[in-house]
Chains A and B, each alone.
Chain A
């Protein structure tokens, strides 16, 4: 497919009735998380950014969005390994994470 970059990302649990409400909730709260991540990056609060990435990594997979979880995990890893994180790499990983989040769709 040529348009995978913009195709909606559907939760693995989309068909699971016990999860429907939770997935909707997660997707609807994503803009807030994105704002928080943008804010932390903008002010170079790397500790906060690492915590947000860690939470996102744990949560996204649980709601059926493993790709978002993996992207968040990469960001967390970069921040964890570096006392002074390479800003360009961090920016790139944040952008990739946000791009995936923007594609996440409700059920």
Chain B
């Protein structure tokens, strides 16, 4: 499984590094000297194949790539870097001895962020590297912002949908256990109507806080929409997920709200999980959790209803 960034506010930055792919040892020597004060550790590759391998293994912050190399040339390396989801976001600066129009157009078309002609002017190279790193950071931040819910700081529905699909396919292909919880605030409309929308917002933020507190590093807590939340729990059997859901439910119930201390807020939770391979599509998983949530509501709210999809799957599949 890919390294999960569970909590958007705690996304970590690795120490920056630059991968230099060039067949000339001189270029490696020169770049190391020129970038010495940029707080970048230099990773060296002397041919295209080695460059691709190191790009995957070391996840560099930036790639400085020569075009003319024996064997696989720089354009092919660039093409493959951009074709692989694991390396497609790394900014690539082309270092070339040629400055023909066609080479530049090809480089930018293939996804390079910049093009520097050798021999490079050291100061210019430094500022271009800095600028590429700055741009990459902003793009990453923007991509992440688009997946974060503004009110609660949790992941949003878009992010949930994408990760849910990944987790379900990991269950389907490798039999990894998985649990999904849908959490809905009870009588939320009456909180809004009685105490006003700002009080309602504080409740949503309080629920998010409880989720952040109780969820483990690998859990993915999201705002699903309105007063509904979702938690993806990879590698978690439904029996263990039930314990976690109950902790979440109890913690929310205990909160004393400053705007309405006399009025507690409870949540109902629907949980769907499987400890083994379960042949259902992602939307079927969510549907099952939603049905369990509906049952929790109709049974009197402030409770968790769990369903084991390994037992239930044949019936769901039959129902079509």
Identify the A interface with B (CB < 8 A).
Answer: 18-19, 22, 25-26, 51, 54-55, 57-63, 66, 69, 73
Task: Pick the residue among A19, A51, A55, A61 that contacts B33 (CB under 8 A).
Answer: A19
Smallest distance from the beta carbon of A26 to chain B beta carbons, Å? Answer: 7
Query: Is A61 touching B26 in the complex (CB atoms < 8 A)?
Result: no
For A61, the closest partner residue in chain B by CB is B119
Enumerate chain B interface residues (CB-CB to A < 8 A).
24, 26-27, 29-30, 33-34, 36-37, 68, 70, 97, 118-120
Residues of chain B within 8 A of A62, CB atoms compared: 26-27, 30, 118-120
Whether A18 touches B36, Cβ cut-off 8 Å, given contacts A54-B97, A57-B97, A62-B30, is yes
For A66, the chain B residues whose CB sits under 8 A away are: 119
Which residues of the partner chain A approach B34 to less than 8 Å between Cβ atoms? 18
Which residue in chain A gives the minimum CB-CB distance to B32? A22
Q: Across the interface, do B97 and A58 meet the contact criterion of CB distance under 8 Å?
A: yes
| B23 CB to nearest chain A CB (Å) | 8
Interface centre among B30, B34, B37, B120 (most CB of A within 10 A): B30
A-B contact pairs, 14 of them (CB 8 A): A18-B33, A18-B36, A18-B37, A22-B30, A54-B97, A55-B26, A58-B26, A58-B27, A62-B26, A62-B30, A62-B119, A63-B30, A66-B119, A73-B97
B26/A26 in contact, CB under 8 A: yes
A26 to B70, CA, bound (A): 23
Q: Is the interface of A mostly helix, strand, loop or mixed?
A: helix
- How distant is the Cα of A26 from the Cα of B30 in the complex, in angstroms? 10
When distances are taken between beta carbons in the complex, the residues of chain A under 8 Å from B36 are: 18
Closest chain A residue to B96, Cβ basis:
A58
| B33 and A58 contacting across the interface, CB-CB below 8 Å | no
Residue of B26, B27, B97, B118 with most chain A CB atoms under a 10 A cut-off: B26
